[in-house]
Amino acid sequence: SQTIHQWPATLVQPVGSPLSLECTVEGTSNPNLYWYRQAAGRGLQLLFYSVGIGQISSEVPQNLSASRPQDRQFILSSKKLLLSDSGFYLCAWSQGASSGNTIYFGEGSWLTVV
């Protein structure tokens, strides 16, 4: 069966420091991968998605970037964190190229920028 893991689960970072959140999927190949952020009162916002190694699409302009160095690895990064980057970040995956495929989420990572 497929599993998805992301880490770290929680982190507290000072403003201006770098960020790296990692996500891996097991039990499948060539998944679509996503980074979402949960903002208060706005549900889940799609930040990035990837349909293959090195292929990243950004949905919203922001201070963050994403990379996919391996088929089942997805990384969310920032060079300099802002206070507004605080939130709950979720990695997710789906199988297949078209809609009609459910997306499955990891455990989430709480980021507090201080």
Partner 1 sequence: DQQVKQNSPSLSVQEGRISILNCDYTNSMFDYFLWYKKYPAEGPTFLISISSIKDKNEDGRFTVFLNKSAKHLSLHIVPSQPGDSAVYFCAASVTDSWGKFQFGAGTQVVVTP
Q: Which of 108, 112, 28 is nearest to 73 (CA)?
A: 28
Rounded to whole angstroms, the Cα distance separating 40 from 75 reads 23
**Residues shown for the chain:** 114
Structure tokens at 74: 């997805």
Q: Which of 91, 110, 98, 75 is nearest to 2 (CA)?
A: 91
- Min dist CB 92 to partner 1, Å, is 8
Residue 74 near partner 1 by CB under 8 A:
no
Residue with smaller CB distance to partner 1, 41 or 69: 41
Concatenating the DSSP letter of every residue in 52-65 gives: ETTEEEESS--S-E
Rounded to whole angstroms, the Cα distance separating 30 from 93 reads 10
Residue from 12, 16, 26, 51 that binds partner 1 (CB under 8 A)? 51
Residue 94 near partner 1 by CB under 8 A:
yes
Residue with smaller CB distance to partner 1, 62 or 110: 110
Residue with smaller CB distance to partner 1, 23 or 81: 23
- Min dist CB 79 to partner 1, Å, is 26
Which of positions 1-40 make contact with partner 1 (CB under 8 A)?
32, 34, 36
Site of interaction with partner 1 (CB under 8 A): 32, 34, 36, 41-46, 49, 51, 59, 88, 90, 92, 94, 96-108, 110
